[in-house]
Amino acid sequence: MTDGWPKRVYVALIHYPVMDKNGEAIASAVTNLDLHDIARACETYGTAGYYVVTPLADQQELVRQILDHWRIGKGGSYNPLRQKALEQVRLKSDVAGAVAEITAIHGGPPRTVATTARRKDGAIPVGQLQEMIRTDPAPVMLFFGTAWGLSDDLMDAADHILEPLMETGDYNHLSVRSAAAIVLDRLLGR
Amino acid sequence: MTDGWPKRVYVALIHYPVMDKNGEAIASAVTNLDLHDIARACETYGTAGYYVVTPLADQQELVRQILDHWRIGKGGSYNPLRQKALEQVRLKSDVAGAVAEITAIHGGPPRTVATTARRKDGAIPVGQLQEMIRTDPAPVMLFFGTAWGLSDDLMDAADHILEPLMETGDYNHLSVRSAAAIVLDRLLGR
């Protein structure tokens, strides 16, 4: 975490609404390492919280089991560093629930920022988002999509869309774990 | 990949010799998503190859099965983008074998660069490595350690050690997947 940087950036990993490979809206399954890797990146870069958003009851139960293992079960004593990272995780059924919680904590709604590997009109560079964070006390909530990315509806509903990480190149298919790590590094790491 | 950047940066994911949580040298198990995530980052940032290094026969067999599924099995038709990324992967029993292959391809040995989350004397910043790549035609080989990181012997044997990604902060425990993505982004992404 950059020294003196305010701790009010949130990450949200979205499992619904996201797209399948044909562009249809789906609810995706939770991936164990998404929880671990992104929580560790969040803790390293000093975010204020990491929301895992899924409306599926069985997937919520899976998340709870993983978190319990590391937070209160054997995982924590085996690897306290992993335990510390997973304390960032907050499970929510939908984006609105996460937004409401952040709003309650900070006394005002977060600035929501969708991430995507695709070019979108009006997308902002990461430097502009850094400047917003510097000059505006509102919390910031970064949306990351699982599967084939955030649905267009959710992207349109966000206050901002972040420019893709790669402007050039004909291959731009990072895992959401890698993309989240790189966005946090560009936003908070320098 | 940065336009005009020479394609001679290699990534090596090391499963031996690495450290366990007590600092003892071990051979670690291969993680499926290490293959996928790092291959996708390598393809996105335009590396010349991604070496997966393990001396264990059963782990080599696991790597071959994963690669076969995506390169020549059903995975490739399901997701050609994943297939393309995994074409970066080259399986080797030891670091020396990977170094020898790169040496044969480029007509000279690679500049080897160890990465670590720990502070080490004489470690170089990523900007210095970028400058070396710009001014010196030698290939570059980045070592990433699984488990609790590269063994001291391997770190000492490398030509250079890269500075840790985070200079400050009391938590610095990224997954190797996240760390590799961020290093590639800092080195080749801007």
pLDDT in tens, B127-136: 999 999 999 9
**Mean pLDDT taken over chain B:** 93
3-state secondary structure of A147: coil
Q: How would DSSP label each residue in A45-95? A: HT-SEEEEE---HHHHHHHHHHHHHHHTSHHHHH-HHHHHHHTTEEEESSH
Count Cβ–Cβ pairs < 8 Å, chain A vs chain B.
100
Query: Structure tokens of A37?
Result: 């890797």
* Confidence (pLDDT) at B1: 40
Of A61, A156, A184, the residue nearest B182 (C-alpha) = A184
* Shortest CA gap B42–chain A (Å): 9
CB atoms A173 and B37 under 8 Å: no
* Confidence (pLDDT) at A33: 96
* Confidence (pLDDT) at B59: 98
Q: What number is the ipTM of this complex?
A: 0.94
**Mean pLDDT value across residues B88-97:** 97
pLDDT band at B166 (very low <50, low <70, confident <90, very high): confident
* Shortest CA gap A153–chain B (Å): 25
Residue B120: is its pLDDT beyond 50? yes
**Mean pLDDT value across residues B52-70:** 97
Of A182, A43, A49, the residue nearest A126 (C-alpha) = A182
Which chain B positions have a beta carbon within 8 Å of A178's beta carbon? 37, 40-41, 177-178, 181
* Confidence (pLDDT) at A166: 87
pLDDT band at B170 (very low <50, low <70, confident <90, very high): confident
Segment (H or E) for A168: none
- Partner residues linked to B19 by β-bridges: B25
Q: Which positions of chain A have pLDDT values less than 50?
A: 1-5
- Partner residues linked to B145 by β-bridges: B14
**Mean pLDDT value across residues B67-81:** 90
CB atoms A37 and B177 under 8 Å: yes
* Confidence (pLDDT) at A159: 98
Burial of A137 (0-12, 13-18, 19+ CB in 10 A): exposed
Lowest mean pLDDT among A91-95, B16-20, B73-77: B73-77
CB atoms B177 and A177 under 8 Å: yes
